[in-house]
Structure 1
Amino acid sequence: MSDDSTKAGQEKRHHEGDVAFIQALAELLNRNDLTELTVKREYDENDRLTVSLSKQIRQAPAVQAAPVFAAPSAPAAAPAAAAVPAPQEDPANLPGAVTSPMVGTAYLAPEPGATPFVTIGQQVKEGDTLLIVEAMKTMNHIPSPRAGTVKRILVDDGSPVEFGAPLMVVE
């Protein structure tokens, strides 16, 4: 057998193994009620596989506390029962909401263990860095769109964020 046919056979088995691996990850995602999963595999120096799986949650249970952050969604019909508490205001609709310009991972400090860029109650100027959103291994500084006071921080350090998700409230 020639080297080319041996290499093609190995690549086909490698591809089939990757497909099975991705299917197993998808099952793991669903079985454990995860919303996001990222795995990086290195086979050798020039052969790597990076898999990112995510799914959107259709509706959170009513008894659960409000999420730390939520992507904007279509308005749902209000329940008819009067005993259900009124929904909390969506932070993305607040006048001072700063939303994520991209999908990525939010970091509140320049590096692990460092002092956060901002804290609740801190005065900021327009253009001051509020946090970083890492997307595709690029650290994107998110500037304050206005001068004001940081009223709320709506994400945890290292948490995933969606496009348009509220990050902070600066009024």
Structure 2
Amino acid sequence: MSKFNIDNDAIRQLAELLDETNLTEIEVATGDNRIRVARQGTMVAAAPAAAPVAAVAAAAPAAPADASSHPGAVKSPMVGVVYFSPEPGAAPFISPGSSVSEGQTIMLIEAMKTFNPIRAHKSGKISQIIAIDGHPVEYDEMLVIIE
């Protein structure tokens, strides 16, 4: 049986990366060693690829003030990467304060190499853009607020 050393610094760096990117899980493998950090399960595990060896409990970060109940909240219908323009270097679909019409494309979410248009569910002005262009989003995550 091989001995497995837990790299606490790597676990901390991966946990910080989860916070920075709002991902719920990240995994890194090097040789026979694998480190997986997950937010929703509130468990950080480090294990060889063949069998789990150690687990360290991690507290989930406190959720920010939730505006998801706002009637103009636009939430992600899928997991993917959000883009605010149709292609690199192009003008963005929206910006804070811009007016949108119901059904208008306000962003794209790339999932499995497919760009899915996200449309405004009502007409109004963009009061807040919460998602970050080029960053991953989770299902039901807040993207923008339309007033």
Q: Residues of 2 paired with 1:29 and 1:165: CA distance?
A: 27
TM-align CA RMSD: 2.6
Mapping of residues 5-154 of structure 1, within 5 Å: 30-33=11-14, 34-35=17-18, 36=23, 37=26, 55-56=38-39, 58-60=59-61, 89-154=65-130
Q: Are the aligned partners of 2:106 and 2:117 in contact in 1 as well (CA < 8 Å)?
A: yes
Q: Are the aligned partners of 2:11 and 2:37 in contact in 1 as well (CA < 8 Å)?
A: no
TM-score (norm 2): 0.63
What is the aligned-residue identity percentage? 40
Aligned to 1:79: none
SS at 2:68 equivalent: helix
Call closer, same or farther: CA 1:112–1:148 in 2, change over 3 Å: same
Call closer, same or farther: CA 1:38–1:160 in 2, change over 3 Å: farther
* Runs of at least 4 residues off by over 6 Å: none
Bigger proportion of residues as helix: 1
TM-score (norm 1): 0.55
Rg larger in structure: 1
Structure 1: unaligned runs, 5 residues or longer: 1-26, 40-52, 62-69, 71-87
Q: Residues of 2 paired with 1:124 and 1:161: CA distance?
A: 22
Call closer, same or farther: CA 1:105–1:54 in 2, change over 3 Å: farther
Q: Residues of 2 paired with 1:150 and 1:106: CA distance?
A: 16
